[in-house]
Amino acid sequence: METVSTNRAFGGVQGVYTHASAETGTPMTFSVFVPEHAPGTKLPVLWYLSGLTCTHANVTEKGEFRRACAEHGVIFVAPDTSPRGDDVPDDEGYDFGKGAGFYVDATEEPWSANFRMRSYIETELPAVIAEHFPADMARQGITGHSMGGHGALTIALRDPSRFRSVSAFAPIVSPLNCPWGEKALTGYIGANRAAWREYDACALIEDGARLPDLLVDQGTADGFLEGQLKTHLLEEACAEAGQPATIRMQEGYDHSYYFISSFMPEHIGWHAERLK
Amino acid sequence: METVSTNRAFGGVQGVYTHASAETGTPMTFSVFVPEHAPGTKLPVLWYLSGLTCTHANVTEKGEFRRACAEHGVIFVAPDTSPRGDDVPDDEGYDFGKGAGFYVDATEEPWSANFRMRSYIETELPAVIAEHFPADMARQGITGHSMGGHGALTIALRDPSRFRSVSAFAPIVSPLNCPWGEKALTGYIGANRAAWREYDACALIEDGARLPDLLVDQGTADGFLEGQLKTHLLEEACAEAGQPATIRMQEGYDHSYYFISSFMPEHIGWHAERLK
């Protein structure tokens, strides 16, 4: 792992790092905020998965998470959303290929060689974090935005024992039922929709996966709400399955980091409570 | 005035606006955050002047001011740092011309036609803010970063009655005594250094200008501290003149928005106390 940059912030250190990923076959960049802490102590870890078109940088610059993470003593990890580089295949659209890994392990050519963001987030990057940072890996939480909200919910639903806390900002709740999901999963996984269910939060809940609880905030003025995000499908799936969930429609908020940053302090507080 | 964008944030509205400036002879863009407030009430206004190379956008995206402004009920105004456009003269350097107006009224050709940032900030933009926003112009504070810290200090020192509160992040404290200042003031104002004194916080204090108090934060790991910012000159000028000042050296912080955002909540609290 190499350090790209470190900046002192809110008493801690905001760093950006790069490492050679065996999963993606590319260098991968991520950011980590480590709050001030007593030497030798280990801190809980909150994962933040970003949305379409983003890198680690969007939330690092605009997410306004450091103040709350410093207050609660929580490490904040922000990975990239896909492999990068000239040799990595790409698509013309903003919603597939680079910047749009969808947190799946691709099985279709030419994507399967590099687009292994599921294994990268589930296995490879946690080992890097555990090795290089004062992280208590027994206390992990996960959140994310949009495509990253989908990533957070599905990764947690498939492995609930790994996380003590799960939340999402404006998540894609059902790739089976929206154009973004249909394009991405057809491309990465193939046309067999039964294979998509492990990458669909609603389907995972229908199929029996459970979390202790989850927190979702969704803006009512989000231009993607009706056509892509469809929060009501998650409300219905949770209600039918008896999955405890706090799903809040936030009046007048859109899909931007102005929305995310507004509710970031509450989400971090909610995670911190469960990570203590 | 035209609205470029509005986004709901922290219960209020973050807007970006543009208007035709008579002072600069160009369209000028600025951002305003208006916290949630009771209809008909007017809120105090905090001006934030940005540093070299910046537009309104840097602090709007990375300044992390909205949470504290919402908490304290303070309007936050972020102007651009210079006129813009193909017809506006420019310099090859990042530290002169566009993005580097230095908050002066230029007297030298070809700059004098457009580079009137002093009058723009002192007179023209306040009238726009008073007309279009729920702003109590009897309660104004001012702050800024680097070149904008210089702007905040000098504008306030020349007209202390306008502001109830003044602070700065890593300000250029004496353009008479640093390369950035020498280049800018020679270019905009001419070689007569006596004319520069009204654009130099230390010189203004030496010449008798006074504020009730002022707050400055400066990072010790700021790469511009020694060669450009020279905080000690302000400490010395304040000490010699009996100007009350809280000047804090912040261990390990650099010149970036990671530094600014870390101390933004405290600065806004400090202003809010004096603006109530």
> Which ipTM value was assigned to this complex?
0.95
A57: confidence class by pLDDT, cuts 50, 70, 90? very high
Alpha helices per DSSP H over B176-242: 179-189, 201-206, 231-241
Residues of A within 8 A of B10 (CB-CB) are 261-262
Task: Tell me if chain B has a CB within 8 Å of the CB of A60.
Answer: no
Q: How far is A10 from chain B (nearest CA, A)?
A: 5
Q: Which residues of A are catalytic?
A: 146, 222, 255
Contact B67 A62 (CB under 8 A): no
Q: What is the mean pLDDT of residues A180-202?
A: 98
Residues of A within 8 A of B7 (CB-CB) are 254, 256, 258-259
pLDDT at position A77 is 99
> Among candidates A31, A254, A63, A62, which has minimal Cα distance to B59?
A62
pLDDT at position A238 is 98
pLDDT at position A47 is 99
Alpha helices per DSSP H over A190-256: 201-206, 231-241
Q: What tokens appear for B128 in the block?
A: 């726009």
Best A64, A254, A263 member to test B by mutation, with max B CBs in 10 Å, is: A64
Among the partner-chain residues B11, B67, B221, the one whose CB lies closest to the CB of A64 is B67
Strand partners, A78: A31
CA atoms of B52 and A172, how far apart (whole Å): 39
B82-102: burial string, b at 16+ Cβ within 10 Å, e else: bbbeeebebeeeebbbbbbbb
Bridging pattern class, strands A75-79 and A12-20: unpaired
Contact B262 A66 (CB under 8 A): yes
Which of B146, B165, B167, B174 is flagged as catalytic? Answer: B146
- Where does residue B41 rank: exposed (0-12), middle (13-18), buried (19+ CB within 10 A)? exposed
Q: Could you give the percent of chain B with pLDDT greater than 70?
A: 100
Task: Tell me if chain B has a CB within 8 Å of the CB of A6.
Answer: no
Task: Tell me if chain B has a CB within 8 Å of the CB of A94.
Answer: no
Residues of A within 8 A of B249 (CB-CB) are none
List, for chain B, all residue ranges whose pLDDT scores fall below the cut of 50: none
Taking one residue from A and the other from B, the number of pairs with CB-CB distance under 8 angstroms is 60
Residues of A within 8 A of B61 (CB-CB) are 61-62, 257
Best A6, A8, A71, A260 member to test B by mutation, with max B CBs in 10 Å, is: A8
């009897």: which residue's tokens?
Answer: B138
Strand partners, B31: B16, B78
> Among candidates B22, B25, B26, B6, which has minimal Cα distance to B14?
B6
Among the partner-chain residues A8, A11, A64, the one whose CB lies closest to the CB of B64 is A64
Contact A265 B67 (CB under 8 A): yes
Q: What are phi and psi of B47, to 5 degrees?
A: -90, 135
Q: How far is B59 from chain A (nearest CA, A)?
A: 10
CA atoms of B189 and B108, how far apart (whole Å): 6
Q: How far is A22 from chain B (nearest CA, A)?
A: 32
Among the partner-chain residues B8, B64, B257, the one whose CB lies closest to the CB of A253 is B8
H-helix or E-strand spanning residue B165: strand B163-169
Q: Is the dihedral of CA B77, B53, B256, B144 positive or negative?
A: negative
Best B5, B8, B250, B251 member to test A by mutation, with max A CBs in 10 Å, is: B8
Question: Is B165 tagged catalytic?
Answer: no
Task: Tell me if chain A has a CB within 8 Å of the CB of B10.
Answer: yes
pLDDT at position A246 is 98
Collapsed DSSP state (helix, strand, coil) of residue A199: helix
pLDDT at position A6 is 98
Closest chain A residue to the Cα of B259, Cα to Cα: A9
pLDDT at position B46 is 98
Task: Tell me the average pLDDT of chain B.
Answer: 98
pLDDT digits (tens, 9 = 90+) for A192-243: 999 999 999 999 999 999 999 999 999 999 999 999 999 999 999 999 999 9
pLDDT at position B204 is 98
pLDDT at position B113 is 97
Task: Tell me the average pLDDT of chain A.
Answer: 98
Contact B258 A64 (CB under 8 A): no
H-helix or E-strand spanning residue A31: strand A27-34
Task: Tell me if chain A has a CB within 8 Å of the CB of B133.
Answer: no
Q: How far is B73 from chain A (nearest CA, A)?
A: 15
DSSP-assigned states of every residue in B71-118: HHT-EEEEE-SS--STTS---SSTTSBTTB-TT-B--STTTTTT-BHH
Task: Tell me if chain A has a CB within 8 Å of the CB of B136.
Answer: no
pLDDT at position B109 is 97
pLDDT at position B252 is 98
pLDDT at position B223 is 98
pLDDT at position A257 is 98
Among the partner-chain residues B7, B8, B258, the one whose CB lies closest to the CB of A9 is B258
Q: What is the mean pLDDT of residues A21-45?
A: 98
Amino acid identity at B217: D
Contact A257 B8 (CB under 8 A): no
Task: Tell me if chain A has a CB within 8 Å of the CB of B9.
Answer: yes
For the entire predicted model, the pTM comes to 0.97
Among the partner-chain residues B7, B11, B265, the one whose CB lies closest to the CB of A67 is B265
> What are the C-alpha distances in Å from A208 to residues A161, A212, A227, A241, B15?
15, 13, 26, 8, 44
pLDDT at position A200 is 98
The CA-CA-CA angle for residues B246, B249, B255, to 5°, reads: 115
Q: How far is CA A78 from the centre of its chain?
A: 8
> Among candidates A152, A274, A70, A188, which has minimal Cα distance to B265?
A70
Contact B256 A7 (CB under 8 A): yes
Q: Which of residues 225-254 of A touch B (CB under 8 A)?
A: 252-254
Q: How far is B44 from chain A (nearest CA, A)?
A: 21
Residues of A within 8 A of B14 (CB-CB) are 258
CB distance A184 to A97 below 8 Å: no
